[in-house]
């Protein structure tokens, strides 16, 4: 993911899996490697720009799109789709055919439901997309939906670390979410394997010995029942106690 | 971001506990891991058990042995971005031991996590006392305190690449490393829900020689003389 800031936050220490870029609004002094907003088909495109942004309201300006298609030299173009209907969108695609462009949705001033509706549509297309917003909540939702780019158009106290965490979970390589909050919420309420009657050291665990219990101390998850059956106990266990890996001899005994 | 884990286990004649340790590691809910067993000239079935559980086996001779060096060569032999360290005589209590340490590395600034250690029913009273009084029930985010314990821990490989364990000291390499990492403004997390059983405890039943050696190293760490 890349996040483009007009004014970067104070703490821009490196965050895993996240690049930081500079966003330059139309009419401002250009900066090398920036995402530069373009609003007129008459203006020359800065050679030092890394990417171009067609802002909200101009996505249907076909002359502007044509200008970018002819002069962007393969650089990425963000095209705001705000306000475009199906036919206008189709016409824009036609003009940009052969160019490197992705859809941008400007989420500023959008109510919550409209924003979620657009986000869902963008995600359903299974293609890269970008979101522009100064709201941390909207940026976090965009990260969760798998946005490849975020644009923060002016000063905003965005928490990069939080966005990175959410973006990582949205990625294909991440594991199922486990967080300290989730673990604390579950503490003392998780199901574990236990025994229905007292079992002594050295005895073998049989299927009908086992039951599922709730104990403040987490033990072996119930899905491990198949692994546990047939194992000898290194230590005795009473009803109500959770069964742990430490109870099991793993077939080794005391060497 | 990938969250694969290299699990490094130091062992010398750990046949009594090793199968239980490896059995618990192999059933972790966190699937992306590899196990490196660093064997220090064991004369029991340690090596045979390690091979049975698919560990990558590394040997270190008595002449070369040093607690830090054993960890460094084990970590170097692995490839995953996170590195868990567990003693061969420690047994993860349940199937989420790895996941509950790894979850903290989603937060930037976290360099290392260590978990709770608990005695077994037949651990010595002094070991039970030490473990119960050292490893509490509340999570801690350490920004100054450099207590850290490698019998049950996880670190980021990219930090270890820059800062391997100090081979000039014999033991307490965990706290020496943690002090340096905290000096770089990283954080160390104590996670009470990532639990292992540790039969011998952390002070080996008040062994006087060991205590004297540990104190000597900690004094050097306190004075930044390592």
Query: What is the model's pLDDT at position A255?
Result: 39
Rounded CA separation B135/B190 (Å) = 9
Mean pLDDT of chain A: 88
Q: Which CATH architecture has domain B5-222?
A: Alpha-Beta Complex (3.90)
Task: Verify whether the Cβ–Cβ distance A183 to B106 is below 8 Å.
Answer: no
Predicted confidence (pLDDT) at residue A241 exceeds the cutoff of 90: yes
Predicted confidence (pLDDT) at residue A253 exceeds the cutoff of 60: no
Rounded CA separation B20/A235 (Å) = 13
Across A28-63, b (16+ Cβ under 10 Å) vs e yields eeebeebbbbbbebeeebeeebbbbbbbbebbbbbe
The whole-angstrom distance between B32's CA and the closest CA on chain A is 9
Predicted confidence (pLDDT) at residue A86 exceeds the cutoff of 80: yes
Strand A101-106 to A129-132 pairing: parallel
Written as six digits, the tokens of A222 are 């119930």
Complex ipTM, two decimals?
Answer: 0.88
Element (H, E) at B51: helix B46-52
Domain with CATH 3.90.1210.10 in chain A: 188-247
Written as six digits, the tokens of A116 are 């979620």
Strand B90-92 to B187-198 pairing: antiparallel
Task: Establish if B220 touches chain A: CB-CB under 8 angstroms.
Answer: no
pLDDT in tens, A143-156: 999 999 999 998 66
Of B15, B27, B108, which is closest to A255 when you measure between CB atoms? B15
The whole-angstrom distance between A252's CA and the closest CA on chain B is 7
A137 versus B224: the higher-pLDDT residue is: A137
Judged by phi (left if over 0) then psi (alpha if -120 to 50, else beta), residue B98 lies in: alpha
| Phi, psi at B87, each rounded to 5° | -70, 150
User: Model confidence at A54, in pLDDT bands (50, 70, 90)?
Assistant: very high
Strand A51-54 to B152-156 pairing: unpaired
A177 and A169 Cβ atoms separated by less than 8 Å: yes
Report percent pLDDT > 70 for chain A. Answer: 91
The whole-angstrom distance between B217's CA and the closest CA on chain A is 32
Domain with CATH 3.20.20.70 in chain A: 2-176
Rounded CA separation A63/A72 (Å) = 14
In B, which residues are within 8 Å of A222 by CB distance?
none
| Phi, psi at A49, each rounded to 5° | -70, 150
A139 and A159 Cβ atoms separated by less than 8 Å: no
Round the CA-based radius of gyration of chain B to a whole number and report it. 16
B154 and B195 Cβ atoms separated by less than 8 Å: no
Sign of the torsion angle spanned by Cα atoms A187, A191, A197, A199: negative
Task: Verify whether the Cβ–Cβ distance A252 to B16 is below 8 Å.
Answer: yes
* Tens place of pLDDT per residue across chain B (226 aa): 448 999 999 999 999 999 999 999 999 988 889 999 999 999 999 999 999 999 999 999 999 999 999 999 999 999 999 999 999 999 999 999 999 999 999 888 999 999 999 999 999 999 999 999 999 999 999 999 999 999 999 999 999 999 999 999 888 999 999 999 999 999 999 999 999 999 887 776 667 888 888 888 888 888 887 7
Interface of A with B in 140-169 (CB under 8 A): 160-161, 164-165, 168-169
Alpha helices (H) along chain A: 62-71, 86-96, 112-124, 136-144, 160-170, 180-186, 225-228
Of the residues B24, B48, B93, the best mutation for testing chain A's interface (the one with the most A CB atoms within 10 Å of its CB) is B93
A105 and A135 Cβ atoms separated by less than 8 Å: no
B187 and B110 Cβ atoms separated by less than 8 Å: yes
Element (H, E) at B183: helix B173-183
Task: Verify whether the Cβ–Cβ distance A175 to B32 is below 8 Å.
Answer: yes
Q: Which CATH architecture has domain A2-176?
A: Alpha-Beta Barrel (3.20)
Predicted confidence (pLDDT) at residue A234 exceeds the cutoff of 60: yes
Domain positions in chain B: 5-222
CATH of domain A188-247: 3.90.1210.10
Give CA B214 to chain center in angstroms.
16
Task: Establish if A175 touches chain B: CB-CB under 8 angstroms.
Answer: yes
Q: How many residues are listed for chain A in this entry? A: 255
User: Model confidence at A35, in pLDDT bands (50, 70, 90)?
Assistant: very high
Nearest chain B alpha carbon to A186 = B193
Of the residues A14, A178, A245, the best mutation for testing chain B's interface (the one with the most B CB atoms within 10 Å of its CB) is A245
Give the start-end residues of each E strand in chain A: 2-5, 19-24, 35-37, 51-54, 76-80, 101-106, 129-132, 149-152, 191-195, 210-214
Query: What is the model's pLDDT at position A69?
Result: 95
A161 versus B162: the higher-pLDDT residue is: B162
Query: What is the model's pLDDT at position A13?
Result: 59
Rounded CA separation A10/A189 (Å) = 41
B162 versus A176: the higher-pLDDT residue is: B162
B23 and A250 Cβ atoms separated by less than 8 Å: yes
| Residues contacting residue A111 through CB under 8 Å, at least 6 positions apart | none
């Amino acid at each position: 993911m890349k996040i483009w800031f007009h004014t970067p936050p104070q703490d821009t220490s490196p965050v895993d899996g996240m690049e930081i870029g500079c966003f330059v609004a139309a009419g401002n002094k250009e900066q090398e490697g920036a995402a530069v907003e373009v609003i007129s088909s008459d203006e020359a495109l800065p050679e030092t720009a890394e990417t171009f942004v067609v802002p909200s309201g101009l996505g249907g300006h076909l002359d502007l799109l044509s200008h970018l298609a002819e002069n962007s030299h393969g650089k990425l173009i963000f095209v705001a789709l705000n306000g475009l209907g199906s036919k206008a969108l189709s016409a824009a695609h036609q003009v940009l055919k052969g160019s490197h462009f992705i859809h941008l949705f400007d989420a500023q001033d959008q109510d919550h439901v409209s924003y979620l509706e657009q986000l869902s549509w963008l995600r359903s297309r299974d293609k890269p997309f970008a979101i522009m917003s100064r709201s941390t909540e909207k940026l976090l939702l965009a990260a969760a939906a798998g946005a490849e780019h975020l644009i923060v158009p002016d000063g905003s106290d965005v928490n990069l670390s939080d966005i990175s965490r959410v973006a990582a979970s949205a990625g294909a390589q991440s594991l199922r979410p486990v967080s300290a909050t989730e673990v604390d919420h579950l503490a003392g309420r998780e199901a574990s394997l236990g025994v229905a009657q007292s079992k002594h050291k050295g005895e073998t665990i049989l299927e009908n010995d086992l039951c599922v219990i709730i104990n403040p101390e987490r033990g072996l998850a119930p899905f491990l029942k198949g692994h546990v059956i047939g194992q000898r106990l290194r230590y005795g266990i009473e009803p109500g106690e959770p069964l742990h890996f430490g109870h099991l001899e793993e077939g080794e005994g005391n060497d | 971001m990938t969250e694969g884990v290299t699990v490094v286990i130091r062992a010398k004649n750990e046949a009594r506990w090793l199968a239980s340790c490896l059995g618990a590691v192999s059933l972790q809910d966190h699937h992306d891991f590899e196990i490196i067993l660093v064997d220090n000239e064991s004369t029991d079935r340690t090596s045979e058990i390690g091979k049975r559980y698919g560990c990558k086996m590394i040997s270190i001779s008595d002449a070369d042995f040093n607690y830090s060096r054993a960890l460094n060569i084990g970590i170097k032999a692995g490839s995953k971005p996170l590195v868990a360290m567990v003693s061969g005589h420690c047994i993860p209590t349940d199937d989420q031991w790895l996941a509950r340490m790894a979850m903290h590395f989603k937060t930037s600034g976290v360099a290392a996590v260590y978990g709770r250690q608990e005695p077994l029913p037949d651990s010595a009273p002094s070991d039970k006392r030490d473990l119960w009084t050292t490893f509490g029930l509340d999570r801690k985010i350490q920004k100054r305190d450099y207590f850290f314990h490698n019998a049950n821990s996880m670190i980021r490989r990219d930090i270890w690449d820059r800062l391997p364990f100090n081979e000039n000291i014999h033991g307490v390499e965990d706290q020496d490393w943690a002090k340096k990492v905290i000096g770089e403004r990283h954080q160390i997390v104590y996670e009470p829900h990532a639990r292992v059983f540790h039969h011998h405890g952390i002070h080996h039943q008040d062994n006087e020689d060991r205590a004297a050696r540990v104190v000597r190293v900690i004094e050097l760490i306190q004075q930044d003389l390592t």
